[in-house]
A and B are shown apart, each in its own frame.
Chain A
């Protein structure tokens, strides 16, 4: 079953749709470049805030979300809680500049984070985490 998802996401006909959320434009650009270099056919969306991410989620297909934790107005946990309500099947990866045990435990225990990446994010780890999240969660493509 996992293989079919793998084929679905790596095949050119079914590109992976990833949403990066960060209030820092530099990080968005870097993440996008990392991921694009390995997955030239991926469909990448970016949002500068949680609010913008939720709007995108309502109108676009999104298979995986990679969000910063520390953002003004809506932090990464608040965004993930809203995503869980709207689209519980979408895996969420959290990025943060803080390596705090409480934060890491909250991410996994209370917010079901699929991965927890510490900034500066290692490109290999980012790519691996996205691909693992997409294939292991059995993401169903959504067509609008």
Chain B
């Protein structure tokens, strides 16, 4: 890995820096996609991992907002990896990419992998950036809403009162 994985120079943005984790065993795809997303989404910091186990280790040490994982990888496939991700990060938004456009895989990805978007390779990097950007925005809004709700619960401890 020649990319800095943990830290990146903070970029000027009104949005808080969000970190995404890209997982793919093909180094070329990994690097190209990571560079494109960082360039295209200014408030995004991209971490990369070449396998499921490596990605799980990254998740243990870094706060990650969204995961983009390939399906076909040695050691641990994308579905096994996402299952492990959701065991420790139940609400982690996940995107899956794959070169195999198979109906059963797409169905397993949504039902078992809880993926929010499914890309078949080759896909437009621009399209991935659009989906990642949209999901990040949604996640940040949900986080703010949850924080406000927590605050409200703290203020008025009466369930059901809105």
The reply to whether the CB of A144 lies closer than 8 angstroms to some CB of chain B is no
The reply to whether the CB of B103 lies closer than 8 angstroms to some CB of chain A is yes
The reply to whether the CB of A141 lies closer than 8 angstroms to some CB of chain B is yes
Q: Which of A101, A136, A141 contacts B103 (CB 8 A)?
A: A101
Complex alpha-carbon distance, A118 and B103, angstroms: 11
Cβ proximity bits A111-129 to B, threshold 8 Å, 1 near / 0 not: 0111111100000010001
Q: Which residues of A contact B131 (CB under 8 A)?
A: 109
Residues of chain A touching chain B, judged by Cβ–Cβ distance below 8 Å, are 1-2, 99-101, 103-105, 107-109, 112-118, 125, 129, 132, 136, 138, 141, 143
Cβ proximity bits B79-106 to A, threshold 8 Å, 1 near / 0 not: 0000000000011000000000111101
Cβ proximity bits B101-140 to A, threshold 8 Å, 1 near / 0 not: 1111011011100111110100000000001000000000
> Total A-B pairs in contact (CB under 8 Å)?
54
Q: Which residues of B contact A99 (CB under 8 A)?
A: 103-104, 107
- A70 CB → nearest B CB, Å: 16
The reply to whether the CB of B146 lies closer than 8 angstroms to some CB of chain A is yes
Question: Which 9 A-B pairs rank lowest in CB-CB distance, beginning with the nearest?
Answer: A104-B106, A101-B103, A99-B103, A108-B110, A116-B110, A104-B107, A115-B111, A116-B107, A101-B101
With A105-B106, A116-B110 known, 18 other A-B pairs at CB within 8 A are A1-B146, A2-B90, A99-B103, A101-B101, A104-B110, A104-B118, A105-B120, A108-B106, A112-B116, A113-B110, A114-B110, A115-B110, A116-B111, A118-B107, A132-B114, A136-B90, A136-B91, A138-B142
Q: Which residues of B contact A2 (CB under 8 A)?
A: 90-91
Q: Which residues of B contact A115 (CB under 8 A)?
A: 110-111
Q: Given A138-B146, A141-B160, are A101 and B111 also a contact pair (CB < 8 Å)?
A: no
Q: Given A2-B90, A2-B91, A143-B160, are A109 and B107 also a contact pair (CB < 8 Å)?
A: no
The answer to whether B111 touches A109, judged by C-beta atoms less than 8 angstroms apart, is no
Which residue of the partner chain B has the closest CB to A1? B146
Q: Which residues of A contact B120 (CB under 8 A)?
A: 105
Complex alpha-carbon distance, A104 and B103, angstroms: 7
- A91 CB → nearest B CB, Å: 11
Q: Which residues of B contact A113 (CB under 8 A)?
A: 110
- The listed residue with most B CB atoms (<10 A of its CB), out of A99, A107, A108, A129, is A108
